[in-house]
Structure 1
Amino acid sequence: MAEWLDSISTHWFWLSLGLILGAAEMVAPGFFLMWLGLAAIIVGILDYFLPITVAYQVAMFAILSVLTVFAGKKFLADNPIETDDPKLNDRGARLTGEIVTVVEAITDGQGRVKVGDTVWAARGTDAATGARVRVTGADGAVLLVESVTP
Structure 2
Amino acid sequence: MAQWLDTISTHWFWLSLGLVLGVAEMVAPGFFLMWLGLAALIVGGLDYFLPITVAYQVAMFATLSVLTVFAGKKFLHDNPIETEDAKLNDRGARLTGEIVTVVEAITNGHGRVKVGDSVWSARGVDAATGSRVRVTGADGAVLLVEGGLD
Quickly name the TM-score band, shorter chain normalised: 0.7 to 0.9
Which position in structure 1 is the counterpart of 2:124?
124
Against the structure 1 CA distance between its residues 61 and 131, is the aligned structure 2 distance closer, same or farther, given a 3 Å change threshold?
Answer: same
- Secondary structure at 2:137's aligned position in 1? strand
How many angstroms apart in 1 are the aligned matches of 2:117 and 2:56? 63
The amino acid across from 2:11 in the alignment is H
Pair 1:15–1:113, CA change in 2 (3 A)? closer
* Structural RMSD (CA): 3.1
Following superposition, the deviation at residue 99 of structure 1 comes to: 1.6
Cα 1:114/1:60, change in 2 over 3 Å:
closer
Report how many aligned residue pairs link the two structures.
Answer: 147
SS of structure 2 residue aligned to 1:97? coil
Q: Indicate if the aligned counterparts of 2:134 and 2:149 stay in contact, CA closer than 8 A.
A: no
Which amino acid is the alignment partner of residue 147 of structure 2? Answer: S
Unmatched runs of 5 consecutive residues or more in structure 1: none
Query: Would the alpha carbon gap of residues 14 and 117 (structure 1) be closer, same or farther in structure 2, given more than 3 Å must change?
Result: closer
Q: Hey, what does 1:69 align to over in structure 2?
A: 69
Label 1:60 to 1:142 Cα distance change in 2 as closer, same or farther (>3 A): same
Shift of 1:57: 1.1
Work out the CA distance in 1 between the residues paired with 2:29 and 2:84. Answer: 21
Please say if 1:141 is aligned against 2:141: yes
How far apart in 2 are the matches of 1:89 and 1:122?
Answer: 20
User: Amino acid of the residue matched to residue 123 of structure 2?
Assistant: R
How much does 1:127 deviate? 3.7
Q: TM-score, normalised by structure 1?
A: 0.74
CA distance in 1 between counterparts of 2:105 and 2:42 reads: 65
Partner of 2:58: 58
SS at match of 1:96: coil
Separation (CA, whole Å) in 2 of partners of 1:103 and 1:135: 14
- 1:28 maps to amino acid: A
Q: Flag the structure with larger Rg.
A: 1
Deviations 1:32-63 (A, max 9, x none): 22111111111122223333222111100110
**Paired residue type of 2:72:** G
Instruction: Call closer, same or farther: CA 1:141–1:16 in 2, change over 3 Å.
Output: closer
2:80 is matched with 80
